[in-house]
């Protein structure tokens, strides 16, 4: 239909006024949130959704991480900084320090006999030993020395200091709920550790170094003669979970059918309250038997997958990541994921961090699986 000259003038005027309005909306820090066709310039919903999504991504330990970890240890000395961590930044979330939307993973090398001063923060963290047998973390007066595969908790607001008490360099990874806590505007740090009003570089031990294992190491048996509220409470009172125990549990059950979507998976739990060790994130160790391939799983939870043993593939939305020990793969929520052990003889062991308990707490956890026949089934 042809328009009259008057209508054409009106449309031109409207286009100019629209452009001016969008300019004003932007200048005055507002966002135009109304439905638009996909082909128009201001398809803002699409832009918003595309701009802030974590993407599936892999950091290779050998290729990407190890050379830079070694170099940073050489160039950034203890005198330069109390911390020396490489945080994995998801390209989809840049510049936000986040590996998936709620969590981040960081790697760190500690030189022999290097112990950083204590600090505390409202973000909770775990550390997982990768190399070296004498990684060190002091947590609220429990001095923990740990090695490959051992998991150490530093719950929110607990004073902790990291380091290495061995004669060889030690590398470990951390997972923090930092992006979630930052989103909730609850992030705080403190660095001045004091005992009796005096600044201290190291915490004085107040518990035996085997306290966690001694009090909680017998599954199903809870001592009634100690206070289980450690630190500010609300987290597991066990500050170290040894690899040996969880590895042995997996080994003992390697002939069990397992779960078709997750192979053999074991969750780290709080022995007093039950459930995950933190309210903000949870952790698993998973075995894939030689040749095992999981069925596709899609969930609203985001995962950080870090292999500890073996080689295989993590397939996320059709993209194949070949993994080796100590890599990290970001698996954003709502991605289809499959895991493959490509070896016919060796098991794969994966350390996995997840925000599933946060989603569950808000009624937002959904899990779907694909059957061997390709049918999509709701799991949770
Ligand atoms: Fe810390």
Q: Can you give the residue range of the structural domain that contains 374?
A: 57-378
User: H helices of the chain, where?
Assistant: 5-27, 44-51, 66-75, 178-183, 211-216, 243-252, 356-361
Distance, CA 378 to ligand 1 centroid (Å)? 38
Could you tell me if residue 20 is inside a domain? Answer: no
- Residues 219-240 have pLDDT tens digits of 899 999 999 999 999 999 999 9
Q: What are phi and psi of 38, to 5 degrees?
A: -65, -20
Task: Give the span between the Cα atoms of 126 and 146, in whole angstroms.
Answer: 12
Could you tell me if residue 34 is inside a domain? Answer: no
Could you tell me if residue 199 is inside a domain? Answer: yes
Could you tell me if residue 318 is inside a domain? Answer: yes
Distance, CA 246 to ligand 1 centroid (Å)? 25
Could you tell me if residue 4 is inside a domain? Answer: no
Can you tell me the mean pLDDT for 144-156? Answer: 98
Distance, CA 32 to ligand 1 centroid (Å)? 40
For 262, the 3-state DSSP assignment is coil
Is residue 123 within 8 A of residue 186, CB to CB? The reply is no
Q: pTM here?
A: 0.91
| Residue 80 exposed, middle or buried by CB count within 10 Å (0-12, 13-18, 19+) | exposed
Buried b (16+ CB within 10 A) or exposed e, 89-110: bbebbeebbbbbbbbbbbbbbb
pLDDT of residue 31: 80
Distance, CA 24 to ligand 1 centroid (Å)? 43
Distance, CA 83 to ligand 1 centroid (Å)? 9
Distance, CA 122 to ligand 1 centroid (Å)? 9
| Residue 219 exposed, middle or buried by CB count within 10 Å (0-12, 13-18, 19+) | exposed
Could you tell me if residue 207 is inside a domain? Answer: yes
Could you tell me if residue 46 is inside a domain? Answer: no
Distance, CA 121 to ligand 1 centroid (Å)? 7
Distance, CA 287 to ligand 1 centroid (Å)? 29
Distance, CA 199 to ligand 1 centroid (Å)? 18
Residue 155 has pLDDT above 60, yes or no: yes
- Residues 129-145 have pLDDT tens digits of 999 999 999 999 999 99
Q: What are phi and psi of 269, to 5 degrees?
A: -130, 160
Could you tell me if residue 32 is inside a domain? Answer: no
Distance, CA 173 to ligand 1 centroid (Å)? 12
**CATH code, domain carrying 70:** 2.60.120.10
- Residues 87-125 have pLDDT tens digits of 999 999 999 999 999 999 999 999 998 888 999 999 999
Identify which of 206, 204, 208 has the alpha carbon closest to the alpha carbon of residue 194: 204
Instruction: Report the number of distinct structural domains present in the chain.
Output: 1
Distance, CA 222 to ligand 1 centroid (Å)? 29
Distance, CA 361 to ligand 1 centroid (Å)? 25
Identify which of 184, 357, 366 has the alpha carbon closest to the alpha carbon of residue 279: 357
Distance, CA 252 to ligand 1 centroid (Å)? 35
356 contact partners, CB below 8 Å, separation of at least 6? 282, 299, 301, 365
């Amino acid at each position: 239909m042809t328009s009259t000259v008057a209508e054409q003038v009106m449309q031109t005027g409207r286009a100019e006024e629209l452009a001016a309005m969008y300019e004003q909306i932007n200048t005055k820090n507002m966002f135009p949130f109304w439905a638009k066709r996909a082909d128009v310039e201001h398809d803002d919903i699409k832009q918003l959704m595309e701009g802030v999504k974590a993407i599936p991504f892999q950091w290779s330990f050998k290729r990407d991480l190890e050379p830079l970890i070694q170099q940073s240890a050489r160039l950034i000395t203890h005198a330069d900084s109390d911390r020396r961590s490489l945080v994995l930044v998801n390209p989809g979330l840049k510049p936000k320090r986040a590996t998936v939307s709620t969590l981040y993973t960081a790697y760190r090398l500690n030189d022999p006999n290097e112990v950083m001063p204590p600090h505390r923060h409202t973000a909770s963290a775990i550390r997982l030993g990768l190399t070296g047998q004498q990684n060190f973390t002091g947590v609220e007066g429990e001095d923990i020395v740990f090695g490959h595969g051992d998991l150490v908790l530093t719950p929110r607001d607990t004073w902790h200091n990291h380091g290495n008490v061995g004669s060889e360099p030690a590398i470990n990874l951390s997972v923090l709920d930092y992006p979630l806590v930052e989103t909730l505007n609850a992030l705080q740090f403190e660095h001045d550790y004091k005992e009796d009003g005096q600044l201290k570089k190291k915490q004085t031990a107040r518990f035996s170094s085997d306290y966690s294992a001694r009090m909680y190491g017998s599954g199903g048996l809870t001592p009634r003669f100690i206070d289980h509220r450690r630190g500010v409470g609300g987290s597991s009172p066990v500050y170290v979970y040894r690899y040996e125990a969880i590895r042995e549990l997996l080994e003992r059950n390697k002939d069990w059918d397992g779960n078709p979507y997750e192979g053999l998976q074991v969750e780290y739990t709080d022995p007093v309250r039950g459930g995950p060790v933190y309210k903000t994130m949870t952790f698993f160790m998973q075995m894939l038997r030689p040749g095992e391939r999981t069925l596709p799983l899609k969930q609203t939870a985001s995962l950080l997958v870090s292999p500890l043993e073996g080689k295989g593939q993590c397939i996320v939305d059709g993209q194949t990541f070949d993994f080796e020990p100590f890599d990290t793969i970001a698996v954003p929520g709502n991605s289809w994921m499959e895991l493959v052990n490509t070896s016919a003889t060796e098991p794969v062991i994966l350390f996995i961090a997840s925000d599933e308990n946060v989603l569950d707490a808000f009624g937002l956890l959904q899990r779907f699986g694909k059957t061997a026949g390709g049918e999509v089934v709701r799991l949770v």
